[in-house]
Chain A
Amino acid sequence: MSTQSSVVTSATELRAYAPTADLTVSPPPSRIERARPRTGTSPDNLRTEPGPIRFIIIALAVTFLSVFVVLPLVVVFASAFSKGIGAYLTALGEPEALAAIKLTLLVAAISVTLNLVFGIIAAWAIAKFDFTGKTFLITLIDLPFSVSPVISGLVFVLLFGAQGFFGTWLQANDIHILFAVPGIALATIFVTFPFVARALIPLMQEQGTQEEEAAISLGASGLQTFFRVTLPNIKWGLLYGVLLCNARAMGEFGAVSVVSGHIRGETNTMPLLVEILYNEYQFVASFAIASLLAMLALITLVVKTVLERRLDEGQEPSDH
């Protein structure tokens, strides 16, 4: 572990390492963009560069990926198991670690569920209806992607903090939002809102309203239409959005850090605990938790690949 402390020297740098789940969490590319290479020029047609240049480009890409993605992953697992598997399991069995895992799962469950519902509603509204302010709504959905997570967290501090907008009222009624589970959940919901909506909007826009209209004219009620026609048509896209939403919810650091208050055993999520343990020189414990997040990232990656394949199959034109 002597080399490792020279690699990582401060908490700020650790941030680049610790919430490894971030590896997979970028805004979902629009389905249309991803589908394009299937119909456009095939990669073979692009092989016009001479051999050496091609080699250099590929080598650069591979090196870059190794240094910035594979290496950190290896370091995380190597550090986690540096004192053997026994120490690793002990570290994960600590009450503080268990509390963090539980809290992370709880927050992820809450925010994924709510964002699932909000995401479907927002995507439905945007894809299937025309109304004034639609463009504004689309922009608004992307807002969490364009502001720094720390700012997102701060917004909730400004709203619910002791000096905040609702602060006095909350205190008078003894309601705890900040430095408690509701605050963490709110911040996470905010940060992860775009994933489901962004995965669904292009899909629903492409499918249009024809099948829904057919269902209604055949006598189906609104709910029957949704569960029998709309939902089955978007299920893979929905799973895709939920998967990314979940990965981000579990891995979120910045926004949660601001609203959590870092109360040990109570308001520390896994990414927060990784940082705390690391700052206390408990490297094995720190990286043991980080390894869980890294595994989540890897699983997410695999499932995502499978889902993308499903989505592309679902794209096959069905009525022309």
Chain B
Amino acid sequence: MTIEVKNIVKKFGSFAALDNVDLKVDQGELLALLGPSGSGKTTLLRIIAGLDWPDAGEVLIDGENALARGASERHVGFVFQHYALFRHMTVFENVAFGLRVQPRAIRKDEATIRARVKELLDLVQLDWLSDRYPSQLSGGQRQRIALARALAIEPRILLLDEPFGALDAKVRKELRQWLRSLHNEIHVTSIFVTHDQEEALEVANRVVVMDKGRIEQIGSPGEVYDNPATAFVHGFIGESIVLPVDVSGGSVRLGGRPLNIAANGAASGASKLFVRRHDMQIGPAGSGSLEGAVRHVRSFGPIQRAEVALSGGEGKTIIEIDAPRDRELQAGEIVSLQPRRYRIFAAHD
């Protein structure tokens, strides 16, 4: 099944939670929706599921107008940010719910329902919990039950709203690998919301980056990381060093001093230079376009992270860079820095 969202606008009062959102999800894809808090991720999922209605735009599920149907007719599996398990039902009944409320004509008999629930509980590896109530489960267990419950109706598409948001780092990591392999197994078209960029990059085939109700970039994890389309994406995905620069006629200046880098077609005017921490080449003093004093060095694993106070320019600019450990840095040392890979964006935001 495919999902197509066309020019969706959703307003709460005069505030636009979604501002002209366009998105196409392919058959069998696992798409990550990534963005800061309040960027409209949940709102978009709710509109696709039919729990909210857009002010303008279209939603097509498998080419068919979904807005003509209510949520109960869309066959969309929804895993809620806070699980929303039925608190008065056992785990078994929670998972069985979607099968029990089917219209009588297509409802399965009790034995089939039981077998199906058992199968789903096996899939999420929690069959031993079937008689417990949601309040007796851990967060990770609730999350997996919520997923089993959504899968019970054999949804055409699966929407997961920050499924691991409330869990600790270790459990998150386990569950995201588990989700990845589960998706490989069942291949249902899925959208997965998260505000954790690492999670998005690790789990998804494609990543959609949202900010303030707009889509900033859509691409593979590699693309959004290596070729961010906007300043926002560069800043949001992966840590970046940001320096205020001036571009004029192809040359780039920092605080009046020319940097030995090409403008790469960036428009003239006040701009921002984005460099990944590990893309700063460190050399002996005088060899690069930037210079600074190492203030502090921390080493862990294969890298050393150095705090460098840049000299020149007005005020003191302190940046953090990652360097390989083949050349140990010393606090107090003067080094020169040269961006290996970088991007320049206009400074309007």
- A210 contacts which chain B residues (CB < 8 A)? 80, 82, 84
Interface status of B142 (Cβ within 8 A of chain A): yes
Which range contains the number of B residues in contact with the other chain? 20 to 34
- A94 contacts which chain B residues (CB < 8 A)? none
| Cβ-defined contact, B87 with A319, below 8 A | yes
Interface status of B135 (Cβ within 8 A of chain A): yes
Interface status of B288 (Cβ within 8 A of chain A): no
Interface status of B85 (Cβ within 8 A of chain A): yes
Q: Find residues 190-246 in chain A having any chain B CB closer than 8 Å to their own CB.
A: 210-211, 213-221, 224, 228-229, 232-233
B47 to chain A, nearest CB (A): 13
- A37 contacts which chain B residues (CB < 8 A)? none
| Cβ-defined contact, A220 with B97, below 8 A | yes
Interface residues of A, CB < 8 Å — how many?
Answer: 21
Q: How far apart are the CA atoms of A298 and B73 in the complex, in Å?
A: 50
| Cβ-defined contact, B87 with A220, below 8 A | no
- A318 with B76: in contact, given A218-B97, A219-B98, A220-B101 (CB under 8 Å)? no
Q: Nearest CB to that of B77 among chain A residues?
A: A217
- A233 with B98: in contact, given A217-B76, A319-B83, A319-B142 (CB under 8 Å)? no
- A318 contacts which chain B residues (CB < 8 A)? 85, 87, 133-135
| Cβ-defined contact, B98 with A218, below 8 A | yes
Q: Find residues 89-116 in chain B having any chain A CB closer than 8 Å to their own CB.
A: 97-98, 101-102
Q: Nearest CB to that of A232 among chain B residues?
A: B88
Interface status of A316 (Cβ within 8 A of chain B): yes
| Cβ-defined contact, B51 with A216, below 8 A | yes
Q: How far apart are the CA atoms of A217 and B85 in the complex, in Å?
A: 12
Q: Nearest CB to that of B139 among chain A residues?
A: A320
Interface status of A317 (Cβ within 8 A of chain B): yes
Choose one: B75, B78, B86, B135; the contact of A229 (CB below 8 Å): B86
| Cβ-defined contact, B82 with A217, below 8 A | no
* B interface residues, Cβ below 8 angstroms from A: 49-51, 70-78, 80, 82-88, 97-98, 101-102, 133-135, 142, 149-150, 152-153, 166
Ordered by A's residue number, 8 sampled pairs between the chains whose C-beta atoms are within 8 Å are A210-B82, A213-B71, A218-B72, A218-B152, A219-B73, A228-B97, A317-B135, A319-B87
Apart from A214-B84, A319-B142, list 9 A-B contacts with CB within 8 A.
A217-B76, A218-B97, A218-B149, A220-B97, A220-B98, A221-B101, A228-B101, A319-B82, A319-B87
